[in-house]
Amino acid sequence: MRITIRDHVIDCTDRTAIMAVLNLATDSPVRESVVAVDEAVRRAAALRDAGAEIIDVGAHSTRTGGETVTPQGEIDRLCPVVEALRAQDHLISVDTWTASVARAAAQAGADLLNDVSAGSDPEMARVAADFQLPLIIMHMRGRPKEHRRADQRYNDVAGEVRDFLAQRAAALTAGGVGEVWLDPGFEFAKTAPDNVRLLLDLPNLLRLGRPIVISASRKSFLAELLGHPKLPSSEVQALDGLLEATLAFNALAAYLGTHIVRVHDVPATAATLRVVNAVRAQRRQERPSDARG
């Protein structure tokens, strides 16, 4: 799959690309990802040099119990950074679930909208359509900052996620959104086994024919897979092995055909993906009928 955004082309044929987290939210549990507004341009340049093709800028954490940021406060943090990154020709994604923030970011030069609430704000689709921006939608039960309290019992987690994303994408497309990307929502109101099931189901999600983004970087379910109990996300970050678990999970997702991984640790991810992408390319040469794009 070749993904075109404005004048940028991301070739995801036999390869997985990197979306880097540039975090302006002051209370993110991944403290090393947080950057002051006046340092954002330097950080973004370093992330691009390390291998990121998209910079995902966010100013409102989804963390349970996190700081509440007003739409204007979010705009005040985001828009100067978006304008500065636009001047440096970065490919900019804006991570927000508030349509008024998305509109301000689009006016400032954003290329892509990343909405963890899957367009629950009815005006989000209008913003994407008005500015002709792709919209990433994510599966989540509950609301941002409240998903840990949502019901985590599923009859068929993979089927529910697939059906939800397909239906929301169809509705948004009918409403005028030109491109809809899909994110299965790892960690959000899902158990560790649920997340593994979603990983294994990625080939079926890919058959929907839309760009697939996964965001599993440094999330709590990875600590559970390492043998730890369920912990608050802020405590998880201090555990040994979390980076390695993230790299392993993203390598598996990449091998299964995921187009884009959203990550905090770009240099390590880039090295991991060089190996996975090389294996995928050779697999296509040797078994073209079995390879995924």
- Evaluated on CA atoms 134, 23, 55, 12, the torsion sign reads negative
Q: Which long-range contacts link 274-278 to residues 24+ away (Cβ below 8 Å)?
A: 275/251, 276/16, 276/251, 277/14, 277/15, 277/16
Catalytic residue among 262, 283, 284, 287: 262
Q: What span, in angstroms and rounded, lies between the C-alpha atoms of 200 and 194?
A: 10
Q: Determine which one of 48, 77, 219, 280 is catalytic.
A: 219
Report CA Rg, the chain: 18
Least Cα distance to 197 among 168, 159, 226, 238 occurs for 159
Residue 152 per-residue DSSP state? -
Name the DSSP letter for residue 228.
Answer: P
262 flagged as catalytic: yes
**8 Å CB contact between 262 and 214:** yes
H or E element in which residue 206 lies: helix 202-206
Q: Which residues are catalytic?
A: 219, 262
